[in-house]
Structure 1
Amino acid sequence: MDEMLTNLEKTTVRILTRRKAEKALELANRQPRTLLGEVKGWADALVFAVFAVLLINQYLFQLFLIPSPSMVSTMNIGDRVFVSKTIYGIEVYPGGPKVLSTNRQVQRDDIITFYNPEYVSKGPFFDVLSQILYMGTFSLVNIDKNEDGSVAERLYVKRAIGFPGEVVRFRDGNVQIRKAGSNEFVPEELFRKENSLVDGPHRSVSPSLYAGIQAWGSLFGYKDVSVPSQSAPSYLSSAYASVQDDNYPDDMYQFEASRARTKDLYDPSNFSYRSDSARYQMGTYVPHGSILPLGDNRDNSRDGRYFGPVSQKKINGSVRFRFWPFKRIGYLGNK
């Protein structure tokens, strides 16, 4: 027993002595710390962190700041949300093709993110740099601004309303949907009730204003075809009086629809006038592989009624969770 303890003691001393010698050698050969070395170490760590954040934002989830009122009150300006980047497939690179997208299609009423069809690029270098800064700082830094200083919306957040084979039209600002294979339009309120959908979309413009908005658009239509306002029907001037103090039509879509219809009625032989008017009257057809997105704040949203259906290939995520402000934290997958 004594012999065994003696051998154990010798072995322990030998191991500790070797470790002490290795530690002394390491200290003797250690390079002195320099400012350049410290900066390099921090730079390496920062580059790795940014690279990791970019990978997470591109392939897993992205933090997104709501920049406009188009989804109020489902999501308000300044809300910060998580966007799932895998739910409809994974983009190989921003704006590029998606993989693993089979059987991962947009579902009715999903809150989706997609590339703004009307976004004006400031050049490939700026586009890449702004996206790196935006994603690398978890949406805290956005250098992509419009001339007036507002945030340029490279990505839009809207609700998936129109689906392939359907036709969506507006009557006095209210959505009507004609399902594929049907010949009847159903008011959105009834459509939502029949399909057990959420009641997020809402209106804010009073129905009593639409006579004035339509008259305003018609007067502009006469102006476009060089008809003096005093020569236009007198009832238009009377109806316009109810909104003449407004700087901007409360429903620009209805304004433009009335404007186009007036020009078509004035000169039905003009194919351009006829085509523009028909687009408003007949509604928007949603082709295969596309979705018509609309904002919940229907009277203050630049959405599919203006730029048309969006290819599902351009839909890169779905808003799933709001994490700020603290009082409004909650799941958004079924809102």
Structure 2
Amino acid sequence: MFWNKTKTVDRTAKPKKSALREWADSVLFAVIAATLIRFLTFEAFAIPTPSMENSLMVGDYLFVSKLHYGARTPKTPLQIPLTHQKIWGTNIPSYSTAIQLPSYRLPGFSRVKNGDVVVFNYPPRKAGDPDYPTDLKTNYIKRCIGIPGDVVTIQSGNVYVNNKLFPVPDQAETSYFIKTTEVLDERFFRKYDIVNDFKSAEGPFINWQPLESYNDSTKLATLVGYRVNATKATIDKFKAFDWVKGIEPVLEQPNQAQPGIYASSANPWNLDNFGPFTVPKKGMTIPLNKQTIAVYGPVIERYEGNSTVEVTPERITVGDQPISSYTFKQDYYFMVGDNRHNSEDSRVWGFVPEDHIVGKAVFVWMSIDPVPADIWHTIRWNHLFSLIN
């Protein structure tokens, strides 16, 4: 005879989570999910300056894709989630450099192309900033003009890449001098989206200003001169006004070095006449002389991971050994703002290393005018949910 024995299992009921615990778990899950989305897929950014006008405006909020070029693994892992440099609303650093890791890029489905609008970490140390790690440097956004190995030349404001004219974006702005018989004011320029923005992150930025008044002896009329940053389409509209007596592009003259321009210490370069030069490419070897040291010396010193580099106008030493040539260890890019005469970009501070690339700007989801004409025009409805080209 067999007896069926039933095993009794003591199933102690789990205590029910308190409302506070439930709330804390929900917040933790949301933070982890948002951090992973921000790290791997898309991140939100705001446009703080007019350097990309009119393609992108101050007050535009956009999503940047990290899927296109591949997300970077964090160099600075000890950081409060969903912060960048500071804890929200304070000047307290949101990170610790106690641990610094090598950074790698995950696979993406494309590479940076000529004409892409790219977000990247500002390469040199920004005036007044601490020496941030690469992944925590200030974010900039510009249009990629030159990719690794390209030969770039700017002549009289026209950009040539590998001897081909680089197309000007439809909404790109440049500077013009306008002679008129009328006195123009903010109300007039605002109708054409030409606004002096005094609330941007690095303002004030002047997109229009009167320069001079003078008598035209041939017509006995008083003319007013204005310097205006505008698109070609807007300038074409101005040309149709009978009170506009002349429009000329404002350009720097060739072969005149401009203070503050990259590599102008050894080359007669300025904002409108720059190069030719080759954008550094991984594996590319260059000879070193006075001209190439001015262009590539800062790259070798700052971004190539070399120890004990000394750069002078005449020579470069690495590890106390003078070198006569150099082979680059990573790719670089040349970035320029669409607002060509109101942009601090590669013409000022040089090349963007590949490990500084954050992602590709894809679309604007919100646009708020920081200096609206009235409360009804605070939101730029025509910019909402617009793709970035």
Bin for the TM-score computed over the shorter chain: 0.5 to 0.7
Residues 96-149 of structure 1: per-residue CA shift (max 9 Å, x gap): 320214x72112211111111134453669x99xx7xxxxxxxxxxxxxxxxxx
Report what 1:122 is aligned to.
130
- Give the alignment of 1:1-335 within 5 angstroms: 37-93=18-74, 96-101=103-108, 104-120=110-126, 121-122=129-130, 154-163=138-147, 164-171=149-156, 174-179=157-162, 182=163, 188=165, 191-192=166-167, 198-206=169-177, 254=252, 258=256, 275-277=266-268, 282-288=275-281, 289-325=331-367, 327=381, 328-333=383-388, 335=389
Change (3 A) 1:46 1:123: farther
Q: List alignment gaps of at least 5 residues for structure 2.
A: 1-10, 77-102, 180-210, 214-228, 230-248, 282-330, 368-378
Secondary structure at 1:291's aligned position in 2?
strand
Tell me how many residue pairs correspond in the alignment: 220
- Specify every segment of 5 or more residues in structure 1 that has no aligned partner in the other structure, as ranges: 1-21, 132-152, 209-240, 244-249, 262-271
CA–CA separation in structure 1 for the residues paired with 2:264 and 2:62: 43
TM-score by length of 1: 0.54
Q: Is the 8 A contact 1:111 1:159 kept in 2?
A: yes
Q: TM-score, normalised by structure 2?
A: 0.47
Provide the rounded CA distance (Å) in 2 between the counterparts of 1:306 and 1:290: 15
| Alpha-carbon distance in 1 for matches of 2:110, 2:132 | 30
Moved beyond 6 Å, runs of 4+: none
CA change 1:207–1:118 in 2 (3 A) is farther
Matches of 1:260 and 1:117, distance apart in 2: 21
Question: Distance in 2 between the 1:74 and 1:92 partners?
Answer: 30
What is the identity, as a one-letter code, of the residue corresponding to 1:68? Answer: T
For 2:131 and 2:280, the matched residues in 1 are separated by 31
Letter in structure 2 aligned against 1:112: V
Alignment deviations for residues 59-92 of structure 1 (CA, whole Å, 9 cap, x no partner): 0111111111111111111111111111012212
- Point out the structure with the larger strand share: 2
Q: Distance in 1 between matches of 2:104 and 2:66?
A: 13
1:73–1:94: structure 2 CA closer, same or farther, 3 Å change rule? farther
Aligned to 2:360, the other structure's residue is in SS state strand
Considering only aligned residues, what root-mean-square deviation do their CA atoms show, in Å? Answer: 4.1
Amino acid at match of 2:387: L
Give per-residue Cα distances to partners, 1:33-74, cap 9 Å, x unaligned.
Answer: 8xxx44343233222211211110110111111111111111
Deviations 1:192-243 (A, max 9, x none): 2xxxx742322134399xxxxxxxxxxxxxxxxxxxxxxxxxxxxxxxx979
Question: 1 CA distance for matches of 2:60 and 2:150?
Answer: 34
Report the structure number with the largest CA radius of gyration. Answer: 1
Name whichever structure is richer in helix by fraction: 1
Separation in structure 1 between the aligned mates of residue 19 and residue 159 of structure 2, nearest angstrom = 64
Give the letter for the 2:336 counterpart: L
Contact kept in structure 1, 2:121 and 2:140, CA below 8 Å: yes
* Percent identity (aligned): 25
